[in-house]
Amino acid sequence: MIVCSCNAISDHDIRGAVVATDDAVFSPAQVYDCLGCTVRCGRCSQSVRRIIEEVPPRRGQCTKPPDADR
């Protein structure tokens, strides 16, 4: 399901970013950074935060897409 229509980010993308990070504290901004994009309108922030709280973080590396702009 698409959670962020501005960046076309799905709930699967968000869960993948959460489990791939070394950070203990994880925020919506960190999810966007990990996925190589930025928050635009902010309407999805509460949904992103809810998904973050559902998924326990695991150790790994945040892998950004090769064509991601900073």
pLDDT for residue 2 is more than 70: yes
pTM metric for this prediction = 0.74
pLDDT score for 70: 42
Please give the sequence-ordered ranges of beta strands (E in DSSP) within 1-70, or none if there are none.
2-4, 9-10
Backbone φ and ψ of 68, nearest 5°: -70, 130
pLDDT for residue 24 is more than 80: no
Task: Provide the 3-class DSSP secondary structure of residue 14.
Answer: helix
Pairwise pLDDT comparison (18 vs 13), residue with the higher score? 13
pLDDT score for 13: 95
User: For 25-37, what is each residue's pLDDT tens digit?
Assistant: 578 888 899 899 9
Domain ranges of the chain: 2-54
Nearest to 18 by CA among 34, 3, 1, 41: 34
